[in-house]
Structure 1
């Protein structure tokens, strides 16, 4: 078995880095999806709570009850703002993770290209060596035949 070349070692390391970046990208995608779902849930809950508040207000409510509803809506709005910021951060992290993965993938592809070129050069050298050996063998046969005839 042939000894692995330094390029093979570097390609293996690049493959490990690419795999790690892909796993991290998957994790970041999951976090982004989770943040989006939480924001959607908060927004939906706020919408439902506001509708309930309007229904109760239509029947009449005390000012203290109105303040309670308003305070809770304010706290929901604050939670929605925080979750919107969390979603924006998750999207930025996902974009950075995607860029890291793409960089690692390009690096791996570069090593693969270099390895393919090195293998092609080795095959050319081997083919020339074989051709030279065949040419020398044919020349020897010709010389041997000429000396027998001559």
Structure 2
């Protein structure tokens, strides 16, 4: 029975950490995409509203209606600034998440490399042992064959 390899336990833990980091990275990507879509929607809505304001203004509008349009545009501008900040934060969080995933992946790869090296060393030991056993058996056969001839 093969003896338990502590590196395998560490590798499994590193795999769990890598998987968790990958799930988090996916979640962060989703949040970033959502923030970008919301910003695009706000920007598009602002553009449409401004065009509507220009059409109405060309036909003539009251001062109070002009102020209402202007206040609403100001509130849209404020929402766009807030959403831009949210997108910037989502992008920073995504970069941090990507960095964490890469770190976890490198850690996992390191354990996998160590395990492969340990396995290769063990295979060499086993191969030498088998070779020694085969050499001893061949030597014994040669001695036995030589003693029969004499």
- TM tier, shorter chain? over 0.9
Q: Give the aligned partner of residue 88 of structure 2.
A: 88
Q: Does 1:39 align with 2:35?
A: no
Q: Give the aligned partner of residue 111 of structure 2.
A: 111
Q: Give the aligned partner of residue 28 of structure 1.
A: 28
User: SS at the partner of 1:4?
Assistant: coil
| CA RMSD, Structure 1 to Structure 2 (Å) | 0.8
**What stretches of structure 1 of length at least 5 have no aligned partner?**
none
Residues 1-56 of structure 1: per-residue CA shift (max 9 Å, x gap)? 53431000000000000000000000000000000000000000000000011111
Cα drift, residue 146 of structure 1:
1.7
Runs of 4+ residues over 2 Å off in structure 1: 1-4
Alignment of 1:59-78 (within 5 A): 59-78=59-78
Residues 124-148 of structure 1: per-residue CA shift (max 9 Å, x gap)? 0000000000010111111112222
Q: Give the aligned partner of residue 100 of structure 1.
A: 100
Inter-partner Cα distance in structure 1 for 2:50 and 2:146: 108
TM-score of the aligned structures, taking structure 1 as reference length? 0.97
User: SS at the partner of 1:61?
Assistant: coil
Cα drift, residue 80 of structure 1:
0.1
**What stretches of structure 2 of length at least 5 have no aligned partner?**
none
TM-score of the aligned structures, taking structure 2 as reference length? 0.97
